[in-house]
Structure 1
Amino acid sequence: MSQDWNGQWRQQALPGLGAQPWDLIVIGGGISGAGILREAARRGWRCLLLEQRDFAWGTSSRSSKMVHGGLRYIAKGQWRLTRDSVRERQRLLQEAPGLVEPMSFLMPHYRGKFPGPKVFGGLLTLYDALAGRRNHCFHDAVHLRFLAPGVKEPGLLGGTSFLDALTDDARLVMRVLAEARADGAVAINGLRVTRLLRENGRVCGVAIEDSETGAVQTLGCAALAVATGAWAERLRPAQAPRQLRPLRGSHLLLPGWRLPVAQALSFMHAEDGRPVFVFPWEGATVVGTTDLDHRDDLDQSASISQEELRYLLAACAQQFPQAQVSAADVLSTWAGVRPVVAGAGGEQQGKPSNETREHVLWQEPGCVTLAGGKLTTFRPQAIEVLQACGAMLGRNVEDDGEPVFAPQAPVDIPGLSAAQVRRLAGRHGRDLPRVAQRVAELGGDCVGASDTLWAELAFAAEAEMVLHLDDLLLRRTRLGLLLAEGAAQYLPAIRRLCQPRLRWDDARWLAEEQRYRDLWQRHHSLPPVTD
């Protein structure tokens, strides 16, 4: 069988899945499913992950890219969630440098506006106490003008800085999956679970369909974990109450030069008092996020609306009036759907931002469904799911505190800076030596104005289970977001490099390119103008 994790390996692996005695099958290839698979594999479980589209296709590639402690949860009295979040944030900063990186945040304060310096400083004191270290400081208006040039001036009292972290969410999923696979787990995309198999009232397996070929088969398992995010209710018994409230969060990506910020700026939107962020990411500037009920088809990629575009541009105008940012400046957009657990009946009448971000487990014999939750706390959530599965199997599962990511020996890559090597090590972990081989072969040039190396594209095409072109350009790399028009001008060069590695003929490549262009236009460009 092919050593690379790619389409050829997938074809060889599929026929044998049904013959395996799986201890655990995980449904869902986002960060929650990847975390469950990683913790199960580390404990020696025979485990398989099934993803119906692509790894991180849903919310786990469309988040706000923040690994944060959830400062806003303190004000809502969600102490456990905040405590777990700050602890896991520190863990990820230590375990995955280059992928999860510290970022300073600034909250400006204005005369007569909420929050004031004293109130916000008090919240941060509690926040830092939960983290076990002091990470905040007040800056007067003079200093703040140097830290955040162009910030709105009238009534400015100063600002408070505090520390959180940013990541590339899709690459985080890929690294967690790589750790699970290194411990013997199997992860396959493009496999849709059509129904659960039950025997004597207990879930005992799944029926699956290959999204690429239409082939069907059944797989048996001792336990099943469902971690499908906003789709978590799809496989629940018909009589179970509907409790998910899908909430959409949309973002704008601007060229870094158009709205340059050296650190994240958090402020309250004048229209509704919600916190909004402007922060640097991958050489560009992110503006986000919205928070509203998502009423569109969950089986289609979420897209920003005209109203959300107006709202986020208004946030830029409010806080950076001199920049005069307009829709014409937007490089790309993305929208993700948060799987928030509401009361029975799902959608509530209250504001979306007031819903809790706590997760819950729904259980039936043989099956545990994870609903809700946060990217930052994926590890303790995964262990909680495994504990519930273990109870069904007579296995004891403890949180032993072992790292998610195994320590890696340093790799010297001639021609690259220390910062570039750190970035590659964070994104590729165990695969860094192989990525270094591609750098030696192809050189250290980046694609356009991005930080992504051509060598990374080549490696992803060879060994990161790319089934479609959007997998490569929107999730294995973020070139489709970071470069103008979805990296359209670079598609010929990308074809020359990647088509042979993907083993696609000309007809397949042309079909994939058209599919990608259409998808990008519908879901990552500016929304269509409506009356």
Structure 2
Amino acid sequence: MADFDVLVVGGGINGVGIARDLAGRGWRVLLCERDDLAAHTSSASTKLIHGGLRYLEYREFGLVRKALQERERLLRAAPHLIHPLRFVMPHHPQMRPAWLLRLGLFLYDHLAHRELLPGSAGLDLRGHALGAPLQPQFRRGFLYSDGWVDDARLVIANAIDARERGAEILTRSPCLEARAAQGLWQARLQTPAGERRLSARLLVNATGPWAASFVEQALRDDAGLVPPARRLRLVKGSHIVVPRLYGHDHAYLLQGADGRIVFTIPYQQDFTLVGTTDLELAPQDIASGRTPGISEAEVAYLCEQVGRYFSRGIGPSEVRWSFAGVRPLLDDDAGTAAAVTRDYALDLDTGAGAPLLHVWGGKLTTYRRLAEESADRITAQLGGGQGAWTAQAPLPGADVSAWVTGAPAGPAALQALQTAVQARHPQLPAPLLRRLCLAYGGRVDRVLGDGRLGLEIAPGLFEAELRHLQREEWAVSAEDVLWRRSKLGLRCSADEAARVERWLHEPA
């Protein structure tokens, strides 16, 4: 008998989503990740849960409809991590005509059922607070809605739910080799505790940008190496974070002269996130297992796009943080990186000696749907199991009933939670409690306890939270804590980050 029904390789959003769905159906699941959860692409997104307004230009109506349906579900499933966000689209007369924008927004409003977000509207920017940060030539624009997400914490929430439903989650544990023989995968993992060997009835390749190279380097059957089934186009998207560009809480969608779009998004109260770029990479560019950082040219490009629209421009010296991620896009022979589909494909290979499911492409917004379709195919292949269940299921932290009686579902629950937490812990600073509510939702008491948080190791980061992150959320390093589990790195000095690192490695 196999040790596990399914071995999932890859701890990004697709891998943890699949592990969660399968564990909830009763399958025995182990997920292994080479680095930290969300260490790469899944923590380097533009932080949006969106339908993909610009994909309408490429007639990706099915993808946009699917993403809009998921946007509504995810706003309900994790209101502490996913929040409504209103966008301003200034009209640039030399870019897309106004009638085309109105048509696109009409479709965006009506391609899928919408309850939680307001629809689009025209906007006179002259004399309006939303037009004040812009250059005076931008006189009209449009408003529309999407969602903002803490992408890395969304991955963590799915991993926690998977574990609580019975899955085993191993980080810092690369799959060195998996060999298919006699209907099973015999895998060899390098875990922090040493080498581990295990067997599984089915293997899921959810390694994102490394999906093809993982197959080529690690998977074998009696005939030798298992060939990859598809080609990917690897596209680097880079972002910068600068001091806050404007005082209100709306985002802007800026149309570039090159046909691309750039977002400016309010970020962590005091900052603005600007992105993204589209730069094609070759497989050898990520052969080391790491993502290349942002280039000077990309920083200049993003600063230039801001300067074309806003009265106050920005320069490279104002960048407080930058990050880059590699999107694994399906190679659909599109001419430019911006035009490549953001949809996904699932390939179930039953000819390799044991079943193998490849996950190709995808986007953050549609991860739950991708996971459900993957679990459907795996369940059909293995036989038995239970049916789909995640469409209406909240993620850990979404339930605030322990704090608020009769709390509303969805985004309105967050404010009620913050009010209740502040009332119970009036001695603690409101900004700290707000951050903890956003991170942990209704489970914030697992960090706060009786309100005695211990020493403050870095600004806004106390021992009680560090213990929780270490014991419950797979945090091992200061980078895990400061840049993925939180964004407190934006407010930490190098000495303070080193203090966090030392605390994590002190004997308990």
Give the TM-score normalised by structure 1: 0.81
Displacement of 1:305: 0.8
In structure 2, what residue type is equivalent to 1:269?
A: G
Deviates more, 1:390-399 or 1:178-187: 390-399
Displacement after TM superposition at 1:381 (Å): 0.3
Secondary structure in structure 2 of the residue aligned to 1:357: coil
Alignment-derived partner of residue 311 in structure 1: 301
On the 8 A contact 2:73/2:392 being kept in 1, the answer is no
Q: Give the Å deviation of 1:208.
A: 1.4
CA distances 1:226-267 after superposition (whole Å, capped 9, x unpaired): 1111011123355435511110000000122x5555211001
Map of 1:14-413 to 2, 5 A cutoff? 21-110=3-92, 112-133=93-114, 135-143=119-127, 145-154=128-137, 156-200=138-182, 202-210=183-191, 212=192, 215-236=194-215, 237-256=225-244, 260=247, 262-270=249-257, 272-283=258-269, 284-295=271-282, 296-298=285-287, 299-320=289-310, 322-343=311-332, 350-365=335-350, 366-395=355-384, 398-400=387-389, 401-405=391-395, 407-411=399-403, 412=421, 413=424
Asked if the contact 1:51/1:189 (under 8 Å) is kept, the reply is yes
Distance 2:450 2:48 in 1: 30
Q: Which shifted more, 425-434 or 260-269?
A: 425-434
Unaligned runs of 5+ in 2: 216-224, 404-420
* CA distance 1:503–1:102, shift in 2 (3 Å): same
Q: 1:414 matched to which residue of 2?
A: 425
Answer yes or no: is the 8 Å Cα contact 2:6–2:27 preserved in 1: yes
**CA contact 1:60–1:169 (8 Å) conserved in 2:** yes
What amino acid does structure 1 have at the position aligned with 2:146? D
* CA separation of 1:429 and 1:157: change in aligned 2, threshold 3 A: closer
Q: Report how far residue 397 of structure 1 moved.
A: 5.7
Which one-letter code corresponds to 2:276 in the other structure? T
Tell me by how many angstroms 1:146 deviates.
1.3
| Stretch moving more, 170-179 or 76-85 | 76-85
CA shift, 1:458, in A, is 4.3
Please tell me whether the aligned partners of residues 5 and 28 of structure 2 are also in contact (alpha carbons under 8 angstroms): yes
C-alpha distance 167-456 of structure 1, shift in aligned 2 (>3 A): farther
Deviations 1:326-345 (Å, cap 9, x if unpaired)?
111110100000010104xx
Letter in 2 for 1:268: Q
Identify the match of residue 470 of structure 1 among 468, 471, 479: 479
Whether contact under 8 Å (1:26, 1:37) holds in the other structure is yes
CA contact (8 A) 1:106 1:160 kept: yes
Residues 97 and 422, structure 1, Cα contact 8 Å, conserved in 2: no
Q: Deviations over 1:193-243 (max 9, x none)?
A: 12222114x452322123x46x32321111211111101112335543551
Q: How many equivalent pairs are there? A: 465
Distance 1:433 1:291, change over 3 A: same
Give the secondary-structure state (helix, strand or coil) at the position aligned to 1:159: strand
Match of 2:439 in 1: 427
Distance of 2:104 and 2:334 partners within structure 1: 28
In the alignment, the residues of structure 1 paired with residue 494 and residue 246 of structure 2 have an alpha-carbon distance, to the nearest angstrom, of 23
Taking structure 1 as reference, are residues 251 and 453 closer, same or farther at Cα in structure 2, changes over 3 Å only? farther
* Gapped regions of structure 1 (runs ≥ 5): 1-18, 506-531
Is the CA contact 2:2–2:201 (under 8 Å) kept in the aligned structure 1? no
Q: How does 1:503-522 map to 2 (within 5 A)?
A: 503=506
Letter in 2 for 1:48: L
CA contact 2:205–2:358 (8 Å) conserved in 1: yes
Inter-CA distance 476–193: structure 2 relative to 1 (3 Å threshold): same
Alignment partners' CA distance in 2, 1:64 and 1:50: 25
Change (3 A) 1:323 1:225: same
Distance 1:492 1:229 in 2: 31
TM-score (norm 2): 0.84
Distance between the aligned counterparts of 2:441 and 2:29, measured in 1?
21
User: 4+ residue stretches of structure 1 with deviation over 4 A?
Assistant: 258-261, 416-423, 445-448, 451-455
Report what 2:411 is aligned to: none
Distance (whole Å) between structure 1 residues aligned to residue 80 and residue 248 of structure 2: 20
Q: How many percent identity over aligned positions?
A: 31
User: For the Cα contact (< 8 Å) 2:478–2:500, is it kept in 1?
Assistant: no
**Cα deviation 1:340-386 (Å, max 9, x = unaligned):** 0104xxxx571100101110112212110111011111111001111
Q: Is the 8 A contact 2:80 2:441 kept in 1?
A: no
Q: Distance in 2 between matches of 1:259 and 1:294?
A: 34
CA contact (8 A) 1:438 1:459 kept: no
Query: What is the deviation of 1:87?
Result: 1.4
